[in-house]
Amino acid sequence: MRPGEAFAAVRADGLTKRYGNVVAVNGIEFSIAARECFGFLGVNGAGKSTTIKMVYCRTSRSGGRLDVLGLDTAAAAPQIKQRIGVVTQENALDPELTVLENLLLYASFFGIPAPTARTKAASLLGLLGLEGKEPARLAELSGGMKRRLVIARALVNDPELLVLDEPTTGLDPQGRLLVWEKLLQLRDRGITLLLTSHYMEEAARLCDRLAIMHEGRIYAEDSPAALIDRFAAKDVLEIIGADFILPDIVPVRALMRRRETHGDTVYLYNADNIALLTVLAQAGVEPARHVARPASLEDVFLNITGRELAD
Ligand code: ADP
């Protein structure tokens, strides 16, 4: 059985979405296990939002299969919507209402009685670090607080699956860290999380498994560590100057995993930067301008798609 196969919260097969001549999602297959945090990582236009819009039944598919919580999205959208939570890129909070009123209004859409909704709102605001903010107007909240309020709102119906589109885009670093902390708490509570991101660090910190998405397709899917191991290596030595010649000697070969050239930079993916620099120095090669760093998902993305994630 493949990872994500058992008790799939979401299962897609040949999933396709066309907008006229544009194929936004091109026959993708993925499976998300209950209680896991799964992410789609890719640059703008990769098809991430379109994919999750089909998952939360906002848009219909053009082809393939898509089951959410065991139900076909084409046949059971209302039932699925009752059981999931959604955090879109637009906060869509009512600026005229207070924090509490926003939550109560949303709870009423699910038919949750007002007394229950009030208790739930208090506990969700506590969970998202917004205790005491009930009477606040939206204008009084920071961007990070609004995001956490939208997450609280999405949890009002006790969803089994929480879908988040770019959860921290537009937030300052501090606001982003707080949202990450809250999402990790939710994951620990056993809520299945599905998110999209174009932030490498976000994907690496939050996701158990990632799908690297590019031009409507999934190019690779695995845990962040396994992706780095497969498409990069432990370390990278970046050498400025595309004409750099790597000595073809046994100690270098023993450390090297792969070599890539992008622009005027040579990327030496290797098992240990310090050991490689030592061996190069012993061979009389001292790269003038270089950066030694651990490999990351950024390298995975670059090696798979030929493009940089941080554009
Ligand atoms: P991402 O979320 O990765 O940035 P999207 O899913 O938003 O990517 O977009 C994938 C492709 O589909 C892009 O080429 C985008 O322009 C196109 N697209 C998305 N939504 C629509 C729409 N409503 N109508 C037409 N084209 C769309």
Q: What is the pLDDT of residues 206-225, one digit of tens each?
A: 999 999 999 999 999 999 99
Counting beta carbons within 10 angstroms of the beta carbon of residue 100, is it exposed (0 to 12), middle (13 to 18) or buried (19 or more)?
middle
Strand ranges, E, within the chain:
8-19, 22-33, 37-41, 63-68, 71-72, 84-87, 161-165, 192-197, 209-214, 217-222, 235-240, 256-262, 265-270, 290-294
CA 121 to ligand 1 center in whole angstroms = 34
Query: Percent of the chain at pLDDT above 90?
Result: 87
CA 25 to ligand 1 center in whole angstroms = 9
* Binding site membership of 46 for ligand 1 (Cβ less than 6 Å): yes
Task: Give the residue, out of 50, 60, 164, with the most ligand 1 atoms within 8 A of its beta carbon, to mutate for a pocket test.
Answer: 50
| Per-residue pLDDT, 6 | 56
What is the rounded average pLDDT of the residues 109-132? 94
What is the rounded average pLDDT of the residues 297-301? 92
* Binding site membership of 212 for ligand 1 (Cβ less than 6 Å): no
pLDDT one-digit tens code per residue, 236-283: 999 998 889 999 999 999 999 999 898 899 999 999 999 999 999 999
Label residue 308 by pLDDT band (50, 70, 90): confident
Question: Residue 15 and residue 287: Cα distance in Å, rounded?
Answer: 47
CA 106 to ligand 1 center in whole angstroms = 27
| Per-residue pLDDT, 311 | 53
Question: Is the pLDDT at 4 greater than 80, yes or no?
Answer: no
| Per-residue pLDDT, 126 | 94
What is the rounded average pLDDT of the residues 117-122? 96
CA 136 to ligand 1 center in whole angstroms = 35
End-to-end CA distance of the chain: 37
pLDDT one-digit tens code per residue, 39-59: 999 999 999 999 999 999 999
* Binding site membership of 22 for ligand 1 (Cβ less than 6 Å): yes
| Ligand 1 closest atom vs CA 42 | 3
